[in-house]
């Protein structure tokens, strides 16, 4: 798997623009609490970690020490370039901070790791964008070792009311500018349908994010 570059690149001009502005767009939410949410969530990571859609690497500085291995599965070439740069910066500042890591060009619906090879899978702000969440969650189940868990922080459809109506109305246009992102995904139902125990997943709110605010945070385990 080392050095694998799967030919799933979608990146062209808009991909580069999104990657270039991504951290700045999220900066306010990160300061308002998203960064703290990442730290709290990722404190639960252990062993061999696979992250799907790591983007520019916003989670890297929040991972706990002592992990065994890190596989970063990112289909966007522009995101991967920024991810590699952030990895290098973190390593330069503290060589022991992160475990051996590889950046893999692949899709979350076809994760290039063997069955049961991950103790932790991480997805944050990704299931909103994947074309087929059920396919990705089936892959997460496949790669998780017995006793392993999925750590997730995902914005989702609102329970109802004005925010839900706004999400439904905005999603067709939003998908086009935000690389397939749906504001109205029912990710809790998708997790249950995929065979995950969601008792460790809580309703949450991403601060300062408007219709992107309603969220889920926590850990999900495959039901055996
Ligand atoms: C909104 S960004 C989230 C980045 C990062 N996880 C975070 O928390 O800031 C969505 C990321 O998911 C990636 N992505 C989109 N479709 C994907 C797929 N099918 N499989 C894996 N990653 C995907 C995008 O390239 C992008 O890096």
Structural domains of the chain sorted by starting position, each given as residue range(s) with its CATH number in brackets: 13-222 (3.40.50.150)
Of 4, 9, 217, 23, the C-alpha closest to 122 is 217
- 127 Cα: distance to centroid of ligand 1 (angstroms): 8
Give the integer Cα–Cα distance in Å for 202 and 147: 20
10, two tokens: 């979608």
- 51 Cα: distance to centroid of ligand 1 (angstroms): 10
Give the integer Cα–Cα distance in Å for 89 and 57: 11
Contact present, 109 and 130 (Cβ < 8 Å): yes
**pLDDT above 90 covers what percent of the chain?**
88
pLDDT computed for residue 210 by the predictor: 86
Atom index in ligand 1 nearest the CA of residue 79 equals 27
pLDDT in tens, 138-160: 999 999 999 999 999 999 999 98
pLDDT-based confidence at residue 207 (cuts at 50, 70, 90): confident
pLDDT computed for residue 169 by the predictor: 95
pLDDT computed for residue 13 by the predictor: 86
pLDDT-based confidence at residue 69 (cuts at 50, 70, 90): very high
Give the integer Cα–Cα distance in Å for 48 and 120: 6
Q: Which residues line ligand 1 (CB under 6 A)?
A: 52-55, 58-59, 73-76, 79, 107-109, 124-126, 129-130
pLDDT in tens, 169-185: 999 999 988 889 999 99
- 207 Cα: distance to centroid of ligand 1 (angstroms): 20
Please state whether beta strands 69-73 and 118-124 pair in parallel, antiparallel, or not at all (unpaired). Answer: unpaired
Average pLDDT, the chain: 93
Nearest CA to ligand 1 atom 6: 54
pLDDT-based confidence at residue 10 (cuts at 50, 70, 90): very low
pLDDT in tens, 102-151: 999 999 999 999 999 999 999 999 999 999 999 999 999 999 999 999 99
Give the integer Cα–Cα distance in Å for 168 and 125: 18
């Amino acid at each position: 798997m080392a050095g694998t570059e799967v030919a799933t690149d979608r990146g062209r001009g808009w991909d580069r623009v999104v990657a270039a502005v991504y951290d700045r767009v999220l900066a306010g939410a990160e300061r308002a609490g998203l960064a703290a949410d990442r730290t709290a969530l990722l404190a639960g990571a252990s062993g061999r970690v696979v992250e799907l859609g790591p983007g520019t690497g916003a989670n890297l500085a929040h991972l706990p020490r002592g992990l065994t291995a890190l596989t970063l599965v990112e289909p966007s070439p522009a995101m991967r370039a920024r991810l590699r740069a952030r990895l290098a910066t973190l390593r330069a500042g503290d060589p022991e901070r992160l475990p051996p890591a590889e950046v893999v060009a692949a899709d979350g619906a076809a994760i290039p790791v063997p069955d049961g090879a991950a103790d932790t899978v991480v997805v944050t702000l990704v299931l909103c964008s994947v074309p087929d969440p059920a396919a990705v969650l089936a892959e997460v189940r496949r790669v998780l070792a017995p006793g392993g868990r999925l750590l997730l922080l995902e914005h989702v459809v609102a329970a109802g009311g004005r925010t839900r109506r706004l999400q439904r109305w905005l999603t067709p246009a939003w998908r086009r500018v935000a690389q397939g992102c749906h504001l109205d995904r029912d990710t809790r139902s998708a997790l249950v349908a995929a065979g995950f125990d969601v008792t460790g997943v809580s309703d949450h709110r991403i601060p300062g994010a408007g219709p992107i605010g309603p969220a889920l945070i926590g850990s999900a385990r495959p039901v055996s």
